[in-house]
């Protein structure tokens, strides 16, 4: 693992995240204004169409991206990865991915300071800001990270089920968070942009599936003795 390139990737990710968040919060161009109008329209539409059933379902799916759940998944993935591969590289990959995600999320949110949508919030007042969505960013990183490890090292059709999880889990968490009035659509898009940069960067620098080349035998093969 290379520290300097990883730090550069983190700075790039945070910089793009902050720039995108500032643009979404303080629109000056036509495109940004359209995005802001879309934010208000979608969040208000979701709030108007809430039902008791959808509210209960959204609470379950929203919790899938909560810190406690993500931490359990991370620890489980690390233990299994080490037990199966007998290598620390997958563990380091997951650890760097998730620690970096948390640090970059906190830095970006503290700089942008975007307020929550102006609709009734179904959850208790949260200590962080709306942009980016920490739930979505964490869900993207952990489930895509797991899918990369499983698909890259396992064999069999079942490994592709992890690709389904890597797609479905972020969608379920993102839609639930917006439904509950926690995030604008551009908050979710910011998290997707964040993950699209951070995950490949960590993978390229940590190389979790790298295997050392087997040593080349130095002794000559045994000679065959031919008897007549």
Return the half-sphere exposure (C-beta side, CA atoms, 13 A cut-off) of residue 7.
Answer: 3
Per-residue pLDDT band for 33 (boundaries 50, 70, 90) equals: low
Residue, of 226 and 202, whose pLDDT is higher = 202
- CA–CA distances in Å: residue 8 to residues 13, 20, 197: 9, 18, 12
Give the count of domains, the chain: 1
Parent domain of 92: 3-206
The token pair that represents 11 in the structure block: 């700075």
Residue 215 has pLDDT above 50, yes or no: no
Q: Tell me, yes or no, whether 172 lies in a domain.
A: yes
- CA–CA distances in Å: residue 220 to residues 20, 217, 227: 62, 8, 21
Q: Tell me, yes or no, whether 221 lies in a domain.
A: no
Q: Tell me, yes or no, whether 127 lies in a domain.
A: yes
Dihedrals φ, ψ of 66, to 5°? -70, 160
Q: Tell me, yes or no, whether 35 lies in a domain.
A: yes
DSSP character at residue 181: T
DSSP character at residue 210: -
Q: Tell me, yes or no, whether 211 lies in a domain.
A: no
Are 6 and 201 in contact by the 8 Å Cβ rule? The answer is yes
Q: Tell me, yes or no, whether 217 lies in a domain.
A: no
Rounded to an integer, the average pLDDT of 128-136 is 89
Place of tokens 């599936």: 209
Alpha carbon distance 176, 218 (integer Å): 60
Sequence-separated contacts (24+) of 81-86 with Cβ below 8 Å: 81/149, 85/153
Q: Tell me, yes or no, whether 86 lies in a domain.
A: yes
Over the stretch 148-186, which tens digit does the pLDDT of each residue have? Answer: 999 988 888 999 999 999 999 999 999 999 999 999 999
Per-residue pLDDT band for 214 (boundaries 50, 70, 90) equals: very low
Percent of the chain with pLDDT over 90: 52
Q: Tell me, yes or no, whether 223 lies in a domain.
A: no
Per-residue pLDDT band for 216 (boundaries 50, 70, 90) equals: very low
Per-residue pLDDT band for 139 (boundaries 50, 70, 90) equals: very high
User: What CATH number is given to the structural domain containing 130?
Assistant: 1.20.144
216 burial via Cβ count (<10 Å: 0-12, 13-18, 19+): exposed
Alpha carbon distance 38, 146 (integer Å): 33
Question: pTM of the entire structure?
Answer: 0.83
Over the stretch 83-129, which tens digit does the pLDDT of each residue have? Answer: 988 889 999 999 999 999 999 999 999 998 888 888 988 887 777 78
Residue 34 has pLDDT above 60, yes or no: no
**pLDDT at residue 118, rounded to an integer:** 87
DSSP character at residue 157: G
């Amino acid at each position: 693992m290379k520290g300097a390139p990883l730090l550069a990737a983190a700075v790039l990710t945070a910089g793009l995240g902050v720039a995108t968040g500032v643009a979404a919060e303080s629109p000056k161009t036509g495109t940004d204004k359209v995005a802001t109008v879309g934010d208000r329209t979608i969040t208000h539409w979701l709030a108007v169409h809430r039902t008791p059933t959808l509210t209960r379902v959204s609470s379950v799916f929203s919790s899938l991206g909560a810190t406690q759940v993500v931490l359990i998944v991370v620890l489980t993935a690390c233990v299994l990865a080490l037990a199966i591969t007998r290598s620390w590289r997958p563990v380091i990959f997951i650890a760097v991915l998730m620690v970096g995600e948390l640090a970059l999320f906190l830095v970006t949110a503290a700089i942008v300071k975007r307020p929550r949508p102006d609709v009734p919030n179904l959850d208790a007042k949260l200590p962080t800001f709306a942009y980016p969505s920490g739930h979505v960013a964490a869900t993207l990183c952990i489930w895509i990270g797991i899918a990369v490890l499983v698909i890259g090292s396992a064999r069999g059709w079942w490994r592709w089920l992890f690709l389904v999880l890597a797609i479905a889990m972020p969608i379920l968490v993102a839609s639930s968070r917006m439904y509950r009035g926690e995030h604008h659509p551009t908050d979710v898009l910011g998290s997707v942009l964040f993950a699209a940069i951070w995950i490949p960067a960590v993978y390229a620098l940590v190389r979790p599936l790298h295997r050392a080349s087997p040593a080349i035998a130095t002794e000559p093969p045994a000679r065959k003795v031919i008897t007549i």
